[in-house]
Amino acid sequence: MKKIRIASLLFPPLGLILLWRSEQASWQRRILGTLGIGLYSMVYVGALVALLVRFTGLELEWRGGFPPVFTWHKTHPNYDAVEANRRTQPKMPIPAQAPTAHVDWPGFRGPHRDGHDDETPIATNWPADGLRPLWKQPIGGGYASFAIAGGRAFTIEQRREQEAVTAYDVDSGRELWVAAYPAAFSEPLGGEGPRATPFFDEGKVYSLGAMGDFLCLDAASGKVIWKLNILADNQADLLNYGMASSPLVVGDKVIVQAGGPKSRSVVAYDKLRGRRLWSVLDDSAAYSSPMLVELAGQEQLLIVTDHRAVGLQIQDGALLWSMPWIVKEHNRNNAQPVLLATNRFMLSGGYGTGSEAVEISRTSACFGAKPIWHNTSLKNKFTSSVFSQGFVYGLDEDILVCLDAQTGERKWKDGRYGYGQVVVAGGYLIVLSGEGQLALVKASPDHYEELAHFQAIEGKTWNHPALFAGKILVRNAVQMACFDLRPAK
């Protein structure tokens, strides 16, 4: 019994286990020991973790799933490294922007917000140790991706107590200009920084910060043409995880999800002057971005709010149709709708919600919307799926899945990629994992086959990749890099 008391002092759970197993222990002590083992173990482990956090730099990081992980290498923006790197870059005149008759990747997830780039062939025989980066360098915080046009990549990042819209030369990574303004958003699960990817249109860049700061900038110089705050302008509330819905330019309008009441949920501003053209709906906003689509023979805006998907007329925002869509556990939609046919699209949500295919019909009098299939085989949490050759590919939480787009039947489920992102290039899937790996996967319903993978950037990576003329740009809150995907000549 003396040994048991000593063990209890040195390591309480061990001591209780010995006490519980002791032949001399009464049944009361055995019950006490059983209950005490769990209680003391939790207290002891909690105290041990607290000491490690206090004295060794151990940190808690949310990487998308549950529970969070403990790590000594949490993905923190390193502003000292960013500033040091930019000081070493050559001070040269900003080159003239290349002609932009063809805009390669104008905004979030590409020209159609569907994650597709099938125009350029890509290399499929990646080296065993991975593609060589054309360049790699530090970057500020946040979860935005890139808009690419005229050889320039535009993004938005956190730079200490400021949000900064930035332009980079795609070929060299050289920073061309920075347009910064005071704004510092942070929340415990996602961390700090802006979330929404900028949009490029006719020599201008439109960016939306995490706290609602909406800017139109000259793409050549970074000069601010106009600026407003969509929350203040529409009496809307800041969302828990910041404003993440990317702007969309359609004709003379730039469309945003403000989420304000009294017909100020979805707003169209004059893209040249920033004045309101129309605003509609009373819905609170979601995190997904407006899309320009053609459904049932009519071009329209497809938008997902906090509780439904809607089709809106472009010219005045009039409601064409509405379909209920609620992400479970009091969450909001993150994933982009995926077009499946000329009159069908798919919605998907995490937290046990699953996916649903919706069909839009049209008569001479009105539009209609109805569900076609629903399942829980594909749950996009804060990623988006892609459609290719009749099948949907996406991350069910953190595992890659293939669904038959016609029926919703799951064809396969394999390969863990964390809470990353998926794009289609040259008929193949490129997956940027939640840990910063790039992987090449066959886009085939027959079976899962990964052809290659390598570590592209370090740290938690929730940002979408962007493609440009056979190159792929990736970033997270610490690093950005560019890799050449073109086949060898």
Any domain includes 444: yes
Domain identity same for 209 and 253:
yes
Mean pLDDT of the chain: 91
Q: Are residues 121 and 32 in the same domain?
A: no
CB contact at 8 A, 294 and 342: yes
Which secondary-structure segment (H or E) carries 84? helix 79-88
Q: What are phi and psi of 425, to 5 degrees?
A: -140, 125
Is 71 within the bounds of a domain? no
Tell me whether residue 43 is in a domain.
Answer: yes
47 and 85 in a single domain? The answer is no
Same domain as 103, residue 22: no
**72 in any annotated domain:** no
Are residues 300 and 226 part of one domain?
Answer: yes
At position 116, the amino acid (one-letter code) is H
b/e code 15-37 from CB counts within 10 Å (16+ = b): bbbbbbeeeebeeeeeeebeebb
- Intervals of the chain under pLDDT 50: 2-11, 16, 101
Q: What is the DSSP string of 10-57?
A: H-HHHHHHHHHH-TT--HHHHHHHHHHHHHHHHHHHHHHHHHHHHHH-
| 29 and 89 co-located in one domain | no
Domain count, the chain: 2
In a domain, 62, yes or no: no
pLDDT digits (tens, 9 = 90+) for 337-380: 999 999 999 999 999 999 999 999 999 889 999 999 999 999 99
β-strand 264-270 against 276-280: which pairing, if any? Answer: antiparallel
CB atoms within 10 A of CB 141: 26
pTM over cut 0.75? yes
Q: Which tens digits make up the pLDDT trace of 273-307?
A: 999 999 999 999 999 999 999 999 999 999 999 99
For residue 381, the domain's CATH number is: 2.130.10.10
Residue indicated by tokens 């040259």: 426
Whether residue 156 sits in one domain with residue 28: no
Q: Quick one: 36 and 159 in the same domain?
A: no
Same domain, 111 and 232: yes
Are residues 46 and 84 located together in one domain of the fold?
A: no
Does residue 216 sit in helix, strand or coil?
Answer: strand
For residue 131, being part of any structural domain is answered with yes
Tell me if 291 is assigned to some domain: yes
Q: Domain of residue 364: give its range.
A: 79-484
Whether 353 and 418 share a structural domain: yes
Q: Based on the domain organization, do 225 and 85 belong to the same domain?
A: yes
Provide CB contacts within 8 A for 423, sequence distance 6+: 109, 110, 115, 116, 117, 386, 429, 430, 432, 464, 465, 467
Domain assignment of residue 370, yes or no: yes
Give me the pLDDT at residue 489, please.
75
Q: In this structure, what are the phi and psi dihedrals at residue 162, rounded to the nearest 5 degrees? A: -130, 145
What is the four-CA torsion angle of 287, 288, 289, 291, rounded to 10 degrees?
-160
